[in-house]
Amino acid sequence: MASDDTTEARNGPRRGPAPAVVTVRRATAADAALLAEHRVGMFRDMGSVEPQFEEPLRQASIAYFNAALPSGEYVGWIATAADSSTPIAGGGVQLRSLLPRPNVSGDGLLLGREGLVLNVYTEPEWRGRGIARQLMETIVAWARDAGVVRLVLAASPQGRPLYEKMGFVGTREMSYTGPLASDGPWTGAV
Q: Kindly report whether the global pTM for this prediction surpasses the value 0.85.
A: no
Per-position b or e across 123-154, b if 16+ CB within 10 A of its CB: eeebbebbbbebbbebbbeebeeeebbbbebe
Instruction: Classify 154 in phi/psi space as left (phi over 0), alpha (psi -120 to 50) or beta.
Output: beta
Residues 6+ apart with CB under 8 A from 169: none
The pLDDT of 44-60, averaged and rounded, is 97
pLDDT of residue 185: 65
State percent of the chain over pLDDT 90.
72
pLDDT digits (tens, 9 = 90+) for 136-178: 999 999 999 999 999 999 998 999 999 999 999 988 887 788 8
Pairing between β-strand 109-122 and β-strand 148-153 as defined by DSSP bridges: parallel
DSSP calls for 67-108? HHHHHTSEEEEEEEETT--SEEEEEEEEEEEEEEEE-TTSSS
pLDDT of residue 14: 45
pLDDT at 13 over 50: no
Sign of CA dihedral 62, 173, 171, 45: negative
Residue 60 and residue 53: Cα distance in Å, rounded? 11
Domains and their CATH numbers in the chain: 19-165 (3.40.630.30)
pLDDT digits (tens, 9 = 90+) for 69-92: 999 999 999 999 988 899 999 999
